[in-house]
Each structure stands twice: as C-alpha cells, then as structure tokens.
Structure 1
Amino acid sequence: HFYAEPKKVREVLSPDEMEKVTATTSATRGVWARGEAIPITVEEENLDDFFTTRWMFQDFAECVRSGGTPRSNVDNGREVAIAVDMALRALHNGTIEEWKPAYKG
C-alpha cells in the first residue's frame, strides 16, 4: 500500500490492516510516533533519476561559480509544496482549490 499521509491511512485501513502497513510515503508508523525522519530510498533507480539528479547538481555548481540562481530553487520548491498541499486538500475535501494571492512569494 502507498498512502500520502497518516490521516489518510487511518481513514481507509482497519486496525488489522494498519498492522501490515510498513511504510507510508517515506516514513513508518513508528517513526511518526517518535517524530523522526528516515531517508527516502529508491529500490530500482533508473537512468532518468540519475541524469536528472546529476543535472541539478551541475546547475547548482555552475550557479555557485557564476552567482546565478539555480533552476531548482527555494521559490519553485515552495510553489510545488503549495500545489501538492492544494491537490491533497482537493482530494480529501472533494473541493476545487484556487491559487490564492497570498501564495505569491
């Protein structure tokens, strides 16, 4: 099973099924209880992941040298996090979420 967050797991699984869940997104129930993070691992890495990661590090290194802004940065990271949150709210509440002016950095 793959679930995005603890709340959703509790909504859709019985207590017996909960005992069988070993991972939810990238954290186990035990880790949640302790408030700890665990590393995200990929069982079968592929070349797309390798080249994307390599490109991001190369872009970052070039920006350090030149004083530029990396293409993957805090601003677009914030926007992605907001978009994911909006998608989860829409999914859970059955609503249409609107991008609010307050979201603009």
Structure 2
Amino acid sequence: MNCKEAVLLRIFFGEDDKYEGKHLYKYIVELCRKKGIAGVTVFRGVLGYGKSSLLHEAKPFKISSDLPIVVEIVDCEERIMEILPEIKRVLNSGLITIQRVMVLQYN
C-alpha cells in the first residue's frame, strides 16, 4: 500500500450469510486476497441488531445465533473502489460504510 491516506471499507452482515455455498465473510476475504488488497479482518460480534431490530446474541449451548459479522478492508481509495461493486453484488442485506483513514505504519 503506497498511500498515506487510505480508505476503510466496513461491511456489517450476519454470520449465516452465504455466497456460492460458502460463508460470505470467507468469500470476501478470498476476493480481497486475490485482488491484492492491503488488509482485511473479520470480527464476530457478541450482540447486535440491524435493520430488522432483531437481537442476535451469543448464548452458551446455542449452536447458531446468526451473530453479527464485521469485515474491515483497508487500502488506497482506488483499490477499494475496484472491489466495491463485487462486494455490493454479493451482499444480500447488510450495511456498507467507507471512511478515510490515515495510515501511520504498514510494514
């Protein structure tokens, strides 16, 4: 990544969301890696809700609760804009945000 000011793309959706039979978060990470994106991290939430206001909560002994997933992708703006159409295409429901960030260290 050769830019001082980068972009953070943040995607919120449910853990049970899939694309082509695989977890959506895994598909997105693999897409970014294939496209040479600088960095991607997936976070699993313990509690959250979205547009429906239905609470999704991690509970002991519960096999599936469709926990919130947040995928953060960081790279130069041009690179993020290249992958954004594909991400929008595979995301059935969720939230996408973009913000400018200053990169202090990347090595």
Fold similarity call, TM over 0.5: no
Structure ranking higher on relative contact order (CA contacts 8 Å, 6+ apart)? 2
Structure that is richer in helix per residue = 1
How does the TM-score come out when normalised to structure 1?
Answer: 0.19
Decide which structure has the larger Cα Rg and report it.
1
